[in-house]
C-alpha cells in the first residue's frame, strides 16, 4: 500500500528531494514520512507539508495515522505474536532480534512494517534502554497483542546473564 503522502507529493509533481529542500530537511526524513515511521510530527513541518500538498494539516495527520494503523493490522495478521515466537527463548541475542530474525526482518524492516521510529528500537535491542519502548507497547496494544511476552523474554534474558554474553549489537 502506498502512503497517501507519497500520492499527494506525486500529484504535485514533486520529488522527495524537492520536498526535503522546501522543508529544509533531509530526503531520508521525507522517505520516513512516506513510510509512516515517525511517532510524532512537528506541527510546523505538518503545516508546511499541508501547504505544499494543498491539504489541510488535520487531514494529513489523519491519513498518516490511518496508514500506520492499516500497516500494523496487516503485520498482526501475517506474523505471530511476541509470546508465540519467544516462549521458552534461551538464545544469546536480544529477544526482539530473535523475533525479527525468525521472520528474516532487519531492524529497519521491522520498523517499516510496524511504522516505528528506528531509534528507540535500536536502543532497546542494543540493551541501552531497559524498558520496552513506549511506542512498541502502544503498537502491540493497537494490534491486540500482549507485549508482556516480549517484555518477559527480555527480563529473563537479562536475568540469566545471556545479555552480557551476546556480544552482538545489531
Last residue of a domain, one of 76, 104, 127: 76
Kindly state whether residues 162 and 90 are assigned to the same domain.
yes
**CA separation for the pair 123, 113 (Å, rounded):** 18
Please give the span between the terminal C-alpha atoms of the chain, in angstroms, as a whole number: 28
What pLDDT does 169 receive?
47
Structural domain containing residue 56: 4-76
Residues of the chain with pLDDT under 70: 167-170
Claim to verify: residue 91 and residue 112 sit in the same structural domain: yes
pLDDT per residue as tens digits for the range 101-133: 999 999 999 999 999 999 999 999 999 988 999
Q: Is 11 left (phi over 0), alpha (psi -120 to 50) or beta?
A: alpha
Q: What is the pLDDT of residue 167?
A: 59
Residues 47 and 72 in one domain: yes
CATH code, 59 = 1.10.260.40
Both 13 and 59 in one domain: the answer is yes
- Catalogue the long-range contacts made by 83-87 (C-beta closer than 8 Å, 24 or more residues apart): 83/146, 83/148, 83/149, 83/150, 83/152, 84/149, 86/149, 86/150, 86/152, 86/153, 87/149
Listed residues 48, 76, 104: the one ending a domain: 76
Cα separations (Å) of 108 from 65, 91, 118, 122? 19, 22, 7, 9
> 57 and 120: one domain?
no
Last residue of a domain, one of 25, 48, 76: 76
67 shares its domain with 117: no
10 with 65, same domain: the answer is yes
Cell of 20: 526535503
**Is pTM beyond 0.85 here?**
yes
Computed on alpha carbons and rounded to an integer, the radius of gyration of the chain in Å comes to 18
Q: How many domains does the chain fold into? A: 2
Q: What is the predicted pLDDT for the residue at 170? A: 46
Structure confidence at residue 135 (pLDDT) = 94
Amino acid at each position: 500500500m502506498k502512503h497517501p503522502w507519497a500520492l499527494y507529493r506525486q500529484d504535485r509533481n514533486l520529488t522527495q528531494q524537492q520536498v526535503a529542500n522546501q522543508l529544509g530537511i533531509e530526503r531520508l526524513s521525507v522517505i520516513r514520512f512516506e513510510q509512516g515511521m515517525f511517532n510524532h510530527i512537528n506541527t510546523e513541518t505538518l503545516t508546511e507539508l499541508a501547504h505544499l500538498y494543498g491539504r489541510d494539516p488535520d487531514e494529513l495527520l489523519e491519513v498518516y495515522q490511518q496508514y500506520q494503523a492499516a500497516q500494523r493490522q496487516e503485520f498482526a495478521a501475517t506474523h505471530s505474536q511476541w509470546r508465540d515466537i519467544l516462549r521458552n527463548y534461551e538464545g544469546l541475542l536480544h529477544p526482539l532480534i530473535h523475533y525479527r530474525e525468525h521472520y528474516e526482518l532487519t531492524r529497519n524492516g521491522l520498523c517499516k512494517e510496524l511504522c516505528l521510529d528506528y531509534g528507540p528500537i535500536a536502543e532497546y535491542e542494543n540493551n541501552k534502554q531497559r524498558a520496552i519502548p513506549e511506542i512498541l507497547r502502544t503498537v502491540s496494544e493497537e494490534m491486540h497483542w500482549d507485549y508482556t511476552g516480549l517484555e518477559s523474554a527480555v527480563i529473563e534474558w537479562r536475568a540469566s546473564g545471556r545479555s552480557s554474553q551476546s556480544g552482538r549489537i545489531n
